[in-house]
């Protein structure tokens, strides 16, 4: 069902197309839009006027002209359910921090840099035309990082420089020019970047003689920039192209994936196998093979890593403005006295529990990291109590070091797991389901001790087993071919794993919620670091005993301890690709705030309970959508 | 131009990506329009590049004579006077005929007092499927009759079977047979199968001593198109970078409207630069193009559209 009121915040240099890419899908699924645009743009106001003339529905598109500081004000209005922002990285980060705790969900599309990978098996002249499309035309969103294989470096540079001589800059409306001007701010940014690059030792080539006071910035090619210099790490502004060589395809992937940005990229190679390998290996939202800059409304366009995780176009673009039926309206849960610097920093000490009553004391559980149970760094445990207050067991007190170890183990297992065929993933999940079935009595008795009736406990175990099987079966359907008008050749919408997914399980439903969150994450190829229920982590640890024998090491890591402290460590970790948090409202707010660090997509419960036993909330399509990310792979054909 | 030693490494690693070249072709046509008096100037320049051609089975001395007269006076005198270009010596670049009609053409041009070259097609035009001996003899006979430019067709069989050395050898022999005459090599790109083959054939032709490379005979199903031209122009540029020799380019077949001819001029200007925009390095093989250009110039000068009978037949 549709989301509701969408707030749209546009940067000072937005294009009409970008605005329409966001307004149209929102309107199409039934949402209404309030757009905040910079003061000097009349076009959105005209659009709003035209929309206002639609008799029965005035107010579907509303436009406010104002400074960027109104952004958080717009987002914190009570009715706004989602805020879509596209613009510069730092503004996006600041907005993410400012909106932590507000009711609106935040969708970010940040940065405009693209990547072009030129291998030695490419048609170099056509790749040079690709560079022109990508960086030196009015259609290009931003600058370009160019990676050229060393064996064709000289040839490529020569052709690039010859081609730059033919580019014409002029007024944008003149039909015979290639590039217009984009305002003084953009010009100054480019000028600053080029000056800094020169001072850091780069060679700069600019075509033509452009006087200093003209509004046009000439097309610029920067080469020999040392990889460790600050300019090489910063985003490349328009119309600059920064070229660097690489030796092998493997090195190319490492260089290409070695930035925090992951927007769009193109691969130029006439060898099909090599082109596809590079295309699949690049961590970007859109990959074009032997072409650049193709767009179509039916194909999702978005990014990953710090380019934001919001999409437009294709099915993903529509999902942005939809939410599962029956979801209540999002309200602000902001807690103004939450101190981000101290939340979860110190672990409250727990006193030792009283003497144990009951059968012989079991040894304390360790942390389940890297496929086996290990002692925690702090070398201490915390007691877990059952429903009547007796001691149920001891679990490890995990800390920051243990989180670090768990994330590392998860990363080590990530590439192997992502490379597994869907059938192999299905087999593992079904094996775990069978193991849980065999363990049913033990799990049911533990649930009973936590105060659940025996019949309900058995039902819970059965449901968990069924969910594992269901998600296992869903491991098959990934990716589809899209039909694009005007293009000869397929466009693939691939669903790829996020990477390492961190999940903080809710306190209630210690077994069912744990399994319901674990299964979709694994089925889509992610490795996980989980913080189980605080009230009773023992059920999760029981499941870990089976996972120790069945799963590859590091696939699932479970860390117990103080939930706020562990959440803090995970939320601030730069190498966790996404975080799902089902806990307190304050924790949710902290998670949203902290995710601004590496702009990981987060899913928080805002302190509200979730009906895990219902299909819609416990096993609905929303889980599957959030557990993977999309990549659009364009394959134009022809010889 | 004597030719270069053959070096197959220049063509061994070449790749051409068809969809990307198509995209570039569309862009060029869309992005460089020329209007008003500049359009008229470009059209007059286009006239000076035309090789006025008649290659039909029913050519006789009478239509050749008409053609040669039109070559000397391509645009009506009063239109040129209105543009103040009547004394600039605007004629077409050459006249192109079959070998048997070369004598007629030379006589007609002498009668009219024009010294533009007569180009003859040779080597089994248009299919090229005759024995090498007769193909060479054709060239010699045409040169004897007075042709100063020869348009040869390459052997497509050799291209499609990848026999690049043999192709080089043949074109070298044609070069020798031409003697002092200027050699244009027709690649018949519509029959070469892929753009990569077009590039390779262009390179071999240039290495073997062609003064010009030409896209097509005009008799194939697909003649001069922009994607093929882009590939050939890139080959010419690469050859120039490697050897310093400038080889000319001639598209032929399918160029009928004045607007098309302007797009061709833009293409050459974009890919190779202004130095190639002279009759020594650029020709357009066309027959009906001239009347469409004349029609456009008539419109520019008078503001009215001409009737069929307003402009002299060629």
pLDDT tens sequence across A555-610? 999 999 999 999 999 999 999 999 999 999 999 999 999 999 999 999 998 888 88
Closest to A531 (Cα-Cα) out of A553, A508, A546, A514: A514
The predicted complex's ipTM stands at 0.88
The pLDDT, as a whole number, for residue B309 is: 84
The pLDDT, as a whole number, for residue A350 is: 66
Q: Given CA atoms A362, A364, A368, A374 in this order, what sign does their dihedral have? A: negative
Distance from CA of A291 to the nearest CA of B (A): 6
**Residues of chain A contacting B270 with CB distance shorter than 8 Å:** 166
A441 burial class (0-12, 13-18, 19+ CB within 10 angstroms)? Answer: exposed
The pLDDT, as a whole number, for residue A352 is: 64
Distance from CA of B9 to the nearest CA of A (A): 15
d(CA A625, CA A394): 36
- A138 to chain B, any CB pair closer than 8 A? The answer is no
Query: Which residues touch A40 (CB under 8 Å, ≥6 apart)?
Result: none
Can you tell me which residue has the tokens 């540029």?
A: B237
Find the residue in A nearest to B193 (Cα).
Answer: A639
CB count in 10 Å sphere of residue B119: 29
Structure-model confidence comparison of residues A354 and A375, the more confident one? A375
d(CA A545, CA A368): 9
Report A:558-617 residues touching B (Cβ under 8 A): none
d(CA A327, CA A329): 7
Largest CA distance in chain A: 88
Which ranges of chain B would DSSP assign to H, the alpha helix? 9-12, 18-31, 36-49, 61-72, 77-82, 102-112, 132-145, 156-160, 164-178, 195-207, 226-243, 258-271, 289-302
- A176 to chain B, any CB pair closer than 8 A? The answer is yes
d(CA A100, CA A54): 36
**Residues of chain B contacting A166 with CB distance shorter than 8 Å:** 270
Contact B298, B75 (CB under 8 A): no
**Residues of chain A contacting B234 with CB distance shorter than 8 Å:** 125
d(CA B195, CA B192): 8
Give B308's pLDDT tier (boundaries 50, 70, 90): confident
Query: Which residues touch A385 (CB under 8 Å, ≥6 apart)?
Result: A353, A391, A392
Helices (H) then strands (E): counts for chain B: 13, 8
Closest to A497 (Cα-Cα) out of A379, A568, A413: A413
- A486 to chain B, any CB pair closer than 8 A? The answer is no
d(CA B263, CA B258): 9
Mean pLDDT confidence for A330-339: 81
Mean pLDDT confidence for A458-481: 87
CB contact under 8 A, B20 and A123: yes
- In this prediction the pTM is 0.90
Can you tell me which residue has the tokens 């605007």?
A: B90
Mutate to test the interface with A, among B11, B13, B19 (most CBs of A within 10 A): B19
- A363 to chain B, any CB pair closer than 8 A? The answer is no
- A405 to chain B, any CB pair closer than 8 A? The answer is no
Q: At what angle do helices B102-112 and B61-72 cross, to 10 degrees?
A: 40
Tell me the two tokens of residue A172. 């944008």
pLDDT at A210 over 80: no
CB contact under 8 A, B31 and A176: yes
Enter the DSSP assignment of B190.
G
Mean pLDDT of the residues in chain A: 89
d(CA B288, CA B293): 9
**Residues of chain A contacting B21 with CB distance shorter than 8 Å:** 123, 126
CB contact under 8 A, B20 and A639: no
The pLDDT, as a whole number, for residue A361 is: 62
Name the range with the highest mean pLDDT among A154-158, A185-189, A343-347, B75-79.
Answer: A154-158
Contact A36, A64 (CB under 8 A): yes
The pLDDT, as a whole number, for residue B254 is: 87
**Residues of chain B contacting A489 with CB distance shorter than 8 Å:** 19
**How many inter-chain contacts (A to B, CB under 8 Å) are there?**
49
Give the residue numbers of B marked as catalytic: 214, 250
CB contact under 8 A, B19 and A488: yes
CB contact under 8 A, B20 and A121: no
Distance from CA of A577 to the nearest CA of B (A): 35
**Residues of chain A contacting B31 with CB distance shorter than 8 Å:** 175-178
Mean pLDDT confidence for A395-419: 93
Mutate to test the interface with B, among A118, A120, A121, A123 (most CBs of B within 10 A): A123
Report A:38-97 residues touching B (Cβ under 8 A): none
CB contact under 8 A, B19 and A637: yes
pLDDT at A42 over 60: yes
Contact B68, B108 (CB under 8 A): yes
Find the residue in B nearest to A294 (Cα).
Answer: B23
Mean pLDDT confidence for B155-180: 93
């Amino acid at each position: 069902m549709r989301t509701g009121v969408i707030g749209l915040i546009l940067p000072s240099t937005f294009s009409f197309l970008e605005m329409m890419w966001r307004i149209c899908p929102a309107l199409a699924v039934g949402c209404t839009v309030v757009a905040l645009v910079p003061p000097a743009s009349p076009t959105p106001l005209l659009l709003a006027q035209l929309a206002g003339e639609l008799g029965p529905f005035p107010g579907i598109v509303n436009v406010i002209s104002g400074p960027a500081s109104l952004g958080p004000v717009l987002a914190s209005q009570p009715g706004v359910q989602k805020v879509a922002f596209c613009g510069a990285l730092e503004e996006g980060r600041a907005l993410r921090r400012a909106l932590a705790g507000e009711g609106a969900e935040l969708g970010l599309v940040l940065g405009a840099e693209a990547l072009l990978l030129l291998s030695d098996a490419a048609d170099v002249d056509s790749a040079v035309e690709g560079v022109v499309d990508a960086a030196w035309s009015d259609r290009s969103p931003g600058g370009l990082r160019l990676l050229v294989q060393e064996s064709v470096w000289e040839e490529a540079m020569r052709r690039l420089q010859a081609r730059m001589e033919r580019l014409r800059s002029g007024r944008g409306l003149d039909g015979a020019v290639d590039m217009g001007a984009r305002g003084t701010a953009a010009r100054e940014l480019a000028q600053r970047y080029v000056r800094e690059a020169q001072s850091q030792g780069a060679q700069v080539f600019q075509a033509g003689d452009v006087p200093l006071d003209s509004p046009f910035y000439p097309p610029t090619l920067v080469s020999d920039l040392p990889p460790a210099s600050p300019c090489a790490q910063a985003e490349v502004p328009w119309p600059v192209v920064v070229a660097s060589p690489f030796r092998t395809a493997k090195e190319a992937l490492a260089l290409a994936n070695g930035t925090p940005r992951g927007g769009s990229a193109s691969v130029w190679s006439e060898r099909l196998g090599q082109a596809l390998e590079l295309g699949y290996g690049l961590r970007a939202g859109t990959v074009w093979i032997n072409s650049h800059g193709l767009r179509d409304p039916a194909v999702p366009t978005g990014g990953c890593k710090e380019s934001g995780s919001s999409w437009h176009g294709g099915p993903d673009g529509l999902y942005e403005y939809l939410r599962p039926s029956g979801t209540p309206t999002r309200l602000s849960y902001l807690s103004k006295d939450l101190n981000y610097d101290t939340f979860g920093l110190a672990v409250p000490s727990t006193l030792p529990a009283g003497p144990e009553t009951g059968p012989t004391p079991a040894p304390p559980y360790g942390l389940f990291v890297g496929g086996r149970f290990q002692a925690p760094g702090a070398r201490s445990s915390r007691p877990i109590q059952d429903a009547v207050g007796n001691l149920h067991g001891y679990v490890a007190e995990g800390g920051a070091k243990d989180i670090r170890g768990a994330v590392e183990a998860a990363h080590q297992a990530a590439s192997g797991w992502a490379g597994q065929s869907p059938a192999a993933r299905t087999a593992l999940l079904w094996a775990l389901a069978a193991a849980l079935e065999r363990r049913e009595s033990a799990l049911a008795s533990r649930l009973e001790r936590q105060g659940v009736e025996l019949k309900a406990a058995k039902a819970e175990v059965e449901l968990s087993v069924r969910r594992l099987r269901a998600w296992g079966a869903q491991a098959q359907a990934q990716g589809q071919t899209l039909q694009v008008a005007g293009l000869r050749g397929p466009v693939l919408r691939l669903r790829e794993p996020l990477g390492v997914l961190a999940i903080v399980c809710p306190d209630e439903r210690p077994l069912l919620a744990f399994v319901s969150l674990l299964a979709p994450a694994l089925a889509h190829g992610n490795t996980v670091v989980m913080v189980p229920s605080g009230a009773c982590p023992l059920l999760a640890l029981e499941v870990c005993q089976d996972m120790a024998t069945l799963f590859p090491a590091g696939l699932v890591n479970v860390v117990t301890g103080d939930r706020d402290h562990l959440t803090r460590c995970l939320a601030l970790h730069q190498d966790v690709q996404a975080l799902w948090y089902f806990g307190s409202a304050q924790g949710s707010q902290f998670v949203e705030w902290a995710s601004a660090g590496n702009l990981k997509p987060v899913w928080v419960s805002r302190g509200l309970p979730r009906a895990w036993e219902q299909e819609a909330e416990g096993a609905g399509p929303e889980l599957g959508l959030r557990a993977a990310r999309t990549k659009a792979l364009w394959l134009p054909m022809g010889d | 131009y004597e030719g270069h030693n053959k070096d197959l490494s220049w063509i061994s690693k070449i790749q051409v990506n068809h969809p990307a070249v198509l995209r570039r072709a569309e862009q060029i046509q869309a992005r460089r329009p020329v209007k008003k008096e500049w359009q008229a100037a470009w059209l007059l320049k286009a006239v000076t590049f035309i090789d006025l051609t008649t290659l039909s089975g029913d050519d006789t001395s009478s239509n050749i004579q008409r053609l040669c007269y039109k070559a000397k006076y391509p645009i009506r005198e009063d239109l040129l006077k209105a543009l103040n270009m009547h004394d600039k010596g605007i004629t077409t670049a050459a006249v192109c005929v079959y070998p048997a009609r070369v004598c007629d053409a030379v006589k007609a041009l002498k009668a009219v007092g024009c010294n533009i070259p007569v180009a003859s097609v040779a080597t089994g035009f248009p299919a090229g499927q005759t024995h090498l001996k007769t193909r060479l003899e054709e060239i010699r006979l045409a040169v004897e009759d007075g042709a100063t430019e020869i348009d040869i067709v390459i052997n497509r069989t050799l291209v499609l079977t990848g026999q690049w050395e043999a192709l080089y050898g043949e074109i070298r022999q044609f070069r020798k047979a031409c003697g002092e005459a200027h050699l244009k090599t027709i690649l018949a790109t519509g029959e070469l199968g892929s753009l990569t083959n077009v590039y390779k054939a262009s390179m071999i032709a240039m290495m073997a001593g062609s003064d010009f490379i030409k896209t097509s005979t005009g008799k194939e199903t697909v003649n001069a198109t922009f994607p093929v031209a882009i590939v050939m122009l890139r080959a010419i540029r690469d050859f120039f970078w490697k050897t310093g020799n400038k080889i000319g380019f001639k598209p032929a077949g399918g160029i009928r409207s004045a607007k098309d001819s302007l797009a061709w001029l833009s293409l050459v200007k974009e890919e190779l630069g202004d130095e190639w925009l002279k009759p020594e390095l650029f020709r357009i093989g066309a027959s009906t193009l001239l009347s469409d250009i004349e029609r456009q110039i008539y419109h520019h000068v008078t503001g009215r559209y001409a009737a069929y009978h307003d402009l002299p037949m060629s």
